[in-house]
Amino acid sequence: MSDLERGYQPVLLFDGVCNLCNSSVKFILKNEKKHDLKFAAIQSEAGEKLLTHYRIDPNETNSVILISGDHVYTASDAVLKVTHLLKFPYSIGKILVVVPKTIRDFFYKRVAQNRYNWFGKRESCMIPTPQLRKRFLE
């Protein structure tokens, strides 16, 4: 049984100035099954505290980090774990676990390294709407 199935409230750390990351957060918020996932920009105070607590170097993980219980998932593993939280048909993405991690991470890293060039960058982190504010750690 995974941490997500045990009921730990997971937290997704994301690059708050990355347009791709912000669009992904909006997509997740719209397509979650249970609305249990919390969010924090890596650049936020809450994000920095979690990075320090879990001894995560954001330069090495490069954009998305999922923390669930005592487990830290990065790169394609984080993305695949998030698919477990999504409604059908998006939850089907979890079948990509059959693709070897080295291959998944190769493609993940290419997108992560080029995300600002391909999708753009914001001047500041996304500000959630008042209804969504409770979903974001501050």
pLDDT top residue among 63 and 107: 107
Integer Cα distance of 25 and 45 in angstroms? 18
| pLDDT on residue 8 | 56
Has residue 5 got a pLDDT over 50? no
64-102: pLDDT as tens digits: 999 998 899 999 999 999 999 999 999 998 899 999 999
Q: pTM for the complete prediction? A: 0.86
Integer Cα distance of 126 and 116 in angstroms? 15
Nearest Cα residue to 108 out of 55, 66, 51:
66
Has residue 6 got a pLDDT over 50? no
| Complete domains list, the chain, with CATH | 3-131 (3.40.30)
Of 1-10, 50-59, 105-114, give the range with the top mean pLDDT: 105-114
